[in-house]
Each structure stands twice: as structure tokens, then as C-alpha cells.
Amino acid sequence: MERKKQVIALMEHLLTDSEKNPDKTVEEVLQEISCKLRKIYSDHPVDSQEG
């Protein structure tokens, strides 16, 4: 459940950030998402109950 909250918070941050920084490239945004998701998933390993 904690991981789900972190992913939702990340998506909200990215939406806000994209409004503030419209010049960011797709590659920059994808790199940021990738790094942050990797950290979230390594801090909270996949659990059989949570998909």
C-alpha cells in the first residue's frame, strides 16, 4: 500500500512539474520517472498481494 501511495504522489509531482517546466523533453521526463520508480520498487519489493 505504501508503494501505491508513492507512485500516485510521483505521478502528481510529474503532472505539476510538467506544467512548471513545459520545455522538458520526453527523454528527461522518462529518465526521471524511471529513476524514481526504480527507487520506489527497490525500497518496497513486490509483494504477492500487491500487483
Average model confidence (pLDDT) across the chain = 85
Q: Give Cα 43 to chain centroid, integer Å.
A: 13
Q: What is the mean pLDDT of residues 18-44?
A: 90
Residue 48, pLDDT above cutoff 60: no
Q: Work out the pLDDT band at 33, boundaries 50, 70, 90.
A: very high
| Euclidean distance between CA atoms 4 and 41, whole angstroms | 10
Q: Where are the alpha helices (DSSP H) in the chain?
A: 2-20, 26-43
Cell of 50: 500487491
Eight-state DSSP code of residue 41: H
Q: Work out the pLDDT band at 1, boundaries 50, 70, 90.
A: confident
Domain boundaries, the chain: 1-42
Q: Work out the pLDDT band at 20, boundaries 50, 70, 90.
A: very high
| Euclidean distance between CA atoms 6 and 44, whole angstroms | 10
